[in-house]
Structure 1
Amino acid sequence: MTPYKAFWQIIRYTPGLYALNAVLQVFRSCIPLLPALIVREVMDRLAVTPGVDSGLWVLLALLVGVVTARVAALLMSVTVDATSTASGTGLLLSNSFSRILGKPGAQGLRRPLGDVVNRLTTDTSGVSDMLMNSLVVLGSASQAAVALVVLFSVDPLITAVVVVPLIAAGFLINFTSTRIKKYHGESRRAAGEVSSFLHEVFNAAQAIQLANAQRRVGERFREVNDTRRRRSMQSRFFTTVFLSSVWTTTTGLGTGIVLLMVAGKFKDGSFTVGDLALFVAYLGWITEFTALFSQNLAAYKQATVSLDRLAEVLPDGGTPADLVAHRPIRPVPDPVLAEPAQGEPLDLLTVRGLTYQHPESGRGIKGVDLTVRRGSFTVVTGTVGGGKTTLLRAVLGLMPKEDGSIRWNGQEITDPADFFVPPRSAYTPQVPHLVSETVRENVLAGLSVPDERLRAATRAAVLDRDLERLDNGLDTLVGTKGTKLSGGQAQRVAAARMFVRNADLLVFDDLSSALDVTTERLLWQRIFEAEDKTCLVVSHRRAALERAGHIIVLKDGTVAAEGTLQDLLRTSPELREIWHAGEGADLDES
């Protein structure tokens, strides 16, 4: 899709708003032409008959009325401008977030997070602002056309001569538009690099301090910031300094031409003082159109760059067409009480021949079979790189499976990512994701539940005693990504987030890796205090292996062995190695 068609799609999303905006812009721009006509008549009257008569008062009253009408039109236009801009920005953001959030959850963004945030904030506004400014140019074009008609009726020759510098300025600006686009693209990329760098620094503040790398990080920041400054200066030179010089010079040149050509016309009366005032006033409006047109031409080039930059962050080769596809923009819903699981409760989960290979490394899982029965505790274990986390993510749809089937009570699941969500399934990843809010907000994550249910969830996660020691209990701020909590506390907050949703299937990826032996055993015990809890767990810890009814050992992405703990200790060298390694870990923690 060409940039022009993409921009037209945004306009067609709310055509009524843009049509009303266009009408208001034309009305708002043409009204200022009337005061110049009134002033022309006033000056000509005063030149012939000095003094103030009733006709002059009528003209002055009319002037006040015109100014009032212009202010009213301006206020209405600004209101519609803001609404139109918000509509276009909302469509771009909605489509961007829809594509980003709709990708498999375990797949990373195509660009660094800081750069993505920069694009979603600055580039979306750049596109919408350009469309709004295009309507301003439309109004200014109408104003300039009417002004030229009026001036041509006063003196065709002077009008024709004055237009020549304007046309030359237009060609000059069009000639430099390619360079404007190039410099703006470089400026936006440099700004994105600064945002990405700052994001990485904030996330690695502790590591930077421990490595005593503050000075080197500061030097690197100065380097990327200097690059951003240089490229921004180049872009602003062409879009601000150069364009401003062009229209300022054009205005001065046009005014000079008028003064030179009318000097001799005053003597024979073919040109009056009022005509001169009209030419000077209208010349400013015509020149303003040249300025606005040149600015918007530069903005169009910049918006084209912005549209391409937004498409670059979309997963799976997104295009500008995906950004401007028409879709309803819904308000953020209020927190609601969790509903019971839809459809049949879990009796049997079967996975057959599940395959997924990571594109970068070629490693993953191949032909894995898995069976999970209601009320069971199934553990997936194995050596590092065996495919344990990949298996869980492929089952849950966080990675797109390449082959195999997933069935819930015998019914094949075609879209696991949409199916395996609360209250059917809840998942805690190996590294829990917490936001910079309170413990309560991290557990509820927008859910509204009774306090008793929230307390039950924190107790099941063995978080109750920790909450008593925190300054504000559930209302304690956890810091950026949970930095104010220990690793074990962060994992248990994530576990409580699972438990509060009363899901049929609980999926844990190495939940207990940061827990001591006593806390881990208590956690598993409390989970199974409630009946019919079904768990699918990745773990190498003894507490989990001892509780497991069924263990699957993965090696190099395939099932090396499976069965009960006692059977596998006799038959599987991989499990024996994991078991004996766990013995040493348990002794260290005891």
Structure 2
Amino acid sequence: MSTYRAVWSIVRRTPRLYALDILFQLLRNGIPLLPALIVREVFDRLTHGEALHAGFWALLAAFVGVAVARVAALLLSTGTDGTLAGAGQALLTRNYLERVLNQPGAEKSEIATGDLVGRVSNDTTLVMNAVVLTLVTFGAGAQAVLAFAIMFSIDPNITLIVFVPMVAAGFLINVTSNSIKKYHGESRQAAGDVSAFLREMFNSVQAVQLANATERVMDQFVRLNEIRRHRSLRSRLFTNVFLGSVWTNTAYLGTGIVLLLSAAKFKNGTFTLGDLVLFIAYLGWITDFTSLVSQSLASLKQAGKSLQRISDGLPAGDGLADLVTHRPTRPAPPETEEHCDRVEHRPLRLLEAQGLSYRYASSGRGVRDVDLRIPRGAFVVVTGGVGSGKTTLLRLVLGLLEPQAGTIRWNGAEVPDPAGFFVPPHSAYTPQVPRLMSATVRQNILLGLPDQQARMSRAVRSAVLERDVEVLDDGLDTMVGPKGAKLSGGQAQRVATARMFAREADLLVFDDLSSSLDVNTERLLWERLGERVDQTCLAVSNRRIAFERASHIVVMHNGSVEATGTFDQLRRNSPSLQRILHGDESPNEQQSRTT
């Protein structure tokens, strides 16, 4: 999709707002033409020795009225510009976030997070600034056409000659448009590199200190900023200084031409002092329009680069069309709604997976031909050594990875879109490394759910979090800091677990749930999980306490199912499970968060 089609898609979202803005732009730019006509009349009367008397005050009143009308039109157009710019930026940001949030959860962007944030905030702003500038240019164009028509009616020859240097300048600007796009893209990329580095630096303060690398990190930061300064300066010099100089000198040249050509015509009376004043005034407006045209073209080139940068951050398979497509906004759920459902609830009776296979292109590892059968109320544990495919299997079941082969069935019916289906109330998931937002404990647990005391109490108790809440400064309303930095590893994991319990989903999926817990807390957590009547669980774990509570165990080895059965059966027959139980793997391997 081209930049112009993308911009048109944005305009089509709120056509009435854009039509209103165009009307205000026409008023904003049409009204300023009137004062020159009034001044022309005044000078012509004075030149012919006429007394103004009452007519003078009428002209003065008209002049004041025009000024007031111009200010009103300017305020209206400016307010509308801001409104439509905000609406367009909201559309781009919303579509971007929606596509990212709906992508398979295990797929990570190759673009640094800090750079992505810059693209969503800064590049969307640049795109809408280009759209607004285009509207302003349209209004100025209407003004220039009217000015040209009035000037042409007074003296066609001078009018046509004055436009020659403007046409030449316009041609020069058009020739340099590719350079404008190139320099802007380099400037935005350098800014993104700085944002990405800043984020990594703030997330790695302790590692930098321990490695005594502060000086080297700061040197790298200075180097990236120097690159950004150089590229930004080059882009601004080319776009602002060069283009500004072209149009400023064009205006001066046009004024000089008017003065030279009008001098001879003053003698024969075909050109008056009032005409000269009008030409010079209108020449400024026309020059402004031609300058705006160059700026608008440059801005649209820059907008195209910004749109490409934003779309590059979208998941694979999505493009610019997905970024600018209008989608109706879902209304917020009522406060009394039990769940923020996105899918029709079909209570679990039986979950089946047949022949699931997935191989990572980068490493060649993964899982192949895995079958699972999980009836309602079952507690299935997936175990195995490091790299055996445990986490990959969970992600395939949940749709966080798209299977390269195999099917998933819920109550006997195939699930065509696992990523969209395996969300509350069907399933809830706690990953190996839980992510917390910089918000309160309560907000991290609810994440938009209605704040109901009974549900919150059940979730906190099931996650063995009640004692921790009692000692926190503000209880459930304690701020956890960025990524839960104010909590211990075990507390952060149990807050994420409480979030999962609060969804009251049919299927609970755990990935190494107790890796950060002490023995007593872990035992109590599994006991309380067992108290949840008719609860279905799928868990990855290498812990004996989980094996003892499991109704069924799946042992993975090198991406395949080595054995299945109960704990009593497998501890005698499964070599992999025996190694885990007897500690042949190191503790780090047994509790590894990597598959």
| TM-score bracket for this pair, using the shorter chain length | over 0.9
Matching residue of 2:569: 567
Gap change, CA 1:15 and 1:195, over 3 Å in 2:
same
The more displaced of 384-393 and 65-74 is: 65-74
1:373 aligned onto 2:375: yes
Matching residue of 1:432: 434
Instruction: Please give the residue correspondences for 1:389-400 in structure 2 after superposition, counting only pairs within 5 Å.
Output: 389-400=391-402
Instruction: Please give the residue correspondences for 1:132-147 in structure 2 after superposition, counting only pairs within 5 Å.
Output: 132-147=132-147
Q: Distance in 2 between matches of 1:452 and 1:582?
A: 45
Matching residue of 2:528: 526
Matching residue of 2:42: 42
Matching residue of 1:454: 456
Gap change, CA 1:336 and 1:112, over 3 Å in 2:
farther
1:533 partner letter: Q
Q: Distance in 1 between matches of 2:470 and 2:206?
A: 27
Q: Distance in 2 between matches of 1:209 and 1:178?
A: 45
How far apart are residue 83 of structure 1 and its match?
2.6
How far apart are residue 90 of structure 1 and its match?
2.6
1:22 partner letter: I
Q: Distance in 1 between matches of 2:363 and 2:521?
A: 36
Q: Distance in 2 between matches of 1:237 and 1:331?
A: 46
Summarize deviations over 1:475-522 as a string: whole Å, max 9, x none.
111111011111111100000101112111111000100111111000
1:209 aligned onto 2:177: no
Contact conserved, 2:429 with 2:509, CA < 8 A, in 1? yes
Instruction: Please give the residue correspondences for 1:300-319 in structure 2 after superposition, counting only pairs within 5 Å.
Output: 300-319=300-319
1:542 partner letter: R
Matching residue of 1:361: 363
Instruction: Please give the residue correspondences for 1:443-522 in structure 2 after superposition, counting only pairs within 5 Å.
Output: 443-522=445-524
Gap change, CA 1:331 and 1:161, over 3 Å in 2:
farther
* Structure 1 unaligned blocks of 5 or more: none
2:149 partner letter: V
Contact conserved, 1:461 with 1:495, CA < 8 A, in 2? yes
Root mean square deviation, CA, Å: 2.1
Instruction: Please give the residue correspondences for 1:531-546 in structure 2 after superposition, counting only pairs within 5 Å.
Output: 531-546=533-548
Instruction: Please give the residue correspondences for 1:116-131 in structure 2 after superposition, counting only pairs within 5 Å.
Output: 116-131=116-131
The 3-state SS of whatever aligns with 1:447 is: coil
Contact conserved, 2:381 with 2:547, CA < 8 A, in 1? yes
How far apart are residue 335 of structure 1 and its match?
5.6
Gap change, CA 1:120 and 1:417, over 3 Å in 2:
same
2:400 partner letter: L
The more displaced of 502-511 and 80-89 is: 80-89
Q: Distance in 2 between matches of 1:379 and 1:287?
A: 75
How far apart are residue 344 of structure 1 and its match?
4.1
How far apart are residue 583 of structure 1 and its match?
11
Gap change, CA 1:303 and 1:340, over 3 Å in 2:
closer
Summarize deviations over 1:434-484 as a string: whole Å, max 9, x none.
001111111111111322321221111111111122111111111110111
How far apart are residue 77 of structure 1 and its match?
1.6
How far apart are residue 321 of structure 1 and its match?
2.0
2:282 partner letter: Y
Matching residue of 1:323: 323
How far apart are residue 331 of structure 1 and its match?
6.0
1:422 partner letter: P
The 3-state SS of whatever aligns with 2:515 is: helix
* Structure 2 unaligned blocks of 5 or more: none
Q: Distance in 2 between matches of 1:512 and 1:185?
A: 47
Matching residue of 1:162: 162
Matching residue of 1:388: 390
Matching residue of 2:30: 30
The 3-state SS of whatever aligns with 2:327 is: coil
Matching residue of 1:283: 283
Q: Distance in 2 between matches of 1:59 and 1:579?
A: 99
1:90 aligned onto 2:90: yes
1:258 aligned onto 2:258: yes
TM (norm. structure 1) is 0.95
Q: Distance in 1 between matches of 2:586 and 2:160?
A: 94
Instruction: Please give the residue correspondences for 1:71-110 in structure 2 after superposition, counting only pairs within 5 Å.
Output: 71-110=71-110
1:525 partner letter: E
Contact conserved, 1:541 with 1:582, CA < 8 A, in 2? no
2:559 partner letter: G
Q: Distance in 1 between matches of 2:566 and 2:46?
A: 108
Q: Distance in 1 between matches of 2:310 and 2:336?
A: 33
Matching residue of 2:297: 297
2:242 partner letter: F
Q: Distance in 1 between matches of 2:431 and 2:585?
A: 24
Q: Distance in 1 between matches of 2:584 and 2:333?
A: 46
Summarize deviations over 1:367-400 as a string: whole Å, max 9, x none.
1111222222211000011100010110011111
Gap change, CA 1:231 and 1:340, over 3 Å in 2:
closer
Q: Distance in 1 between matches of 2:52 and 2:300?
A: 50
Matching residue of 1:549: 551
Contact conserved, 1:517 with 1:543, CA < 8 A, in 2? no
Matching residue of 2:413: 411
Contact conserved, 1:542 with 1:582, CA < 8 A, in 2? no
The more displaced of 308-317 and 520-529 is: 308-317
Alignment size in residue pairs: 588
The more displaced of 433-442 and 344-353 is: 344-353
Q: Distance in 2 between matches of 1:65 and 1:307?
A: 43
Q: Distance in 1 between matches of 2:334 and 2:217?
A: 42
Q: Distance in 2 between matches of 1:391 and 1:132?
A: 49
The more displaced of 122-131 and 503-512 is: 122-131
Gap change, CA 1:344 and 1:166, over 3 Å in 2:
closer
The 3-state SS of whatever aligns with 2:435 is: coil
Q: Distance in 2 between matches of 1:32 and 1:461?
A: 69
1:375 partner letter: G
Summarize deviations over 1:529-582 as a string: whole Å, max 9, x none.
221122111001121112112111101110011111121111111101101229
1:480 partner letter: P
Q: Distance in 2 between matches of 1:446 and 1:454?
A: 13
1:349 partner letter: L
Gap change, CA 1:25 and 1:333, over 3 Å in 2:
farther
Summarize deviations over 1:92-138 as a string: whole Å, max 9, x none.
22322222222111111242111111111122222222122111111
Q: Distance in 2 between matches of 1:210 and 1:478?
A: 24
1:458 partner letter: V
Contact conserved, 1:553 with 1:574, CA < 8 A, in 2? yes
Summarize deviations over 1:189-211 as a string: whole Å, max 9, x none.
11111111112122222222222
1:489 partner letter: Q
1:361 partner letter: S
Q: Distance in 2 between matches of 1:69 and 1:174?
A: 35
Contact conserved, 1:438 with 1:478, CA < 8 A, in 2? yes
Q: Distance in 2 between matches of 1:41 and 1:441?
A: 69
Q: Distance in 2 between matches of 1:268 and 1:437?
A: 80
The 3-state SS of whatever aligns with 2:451 is: coil
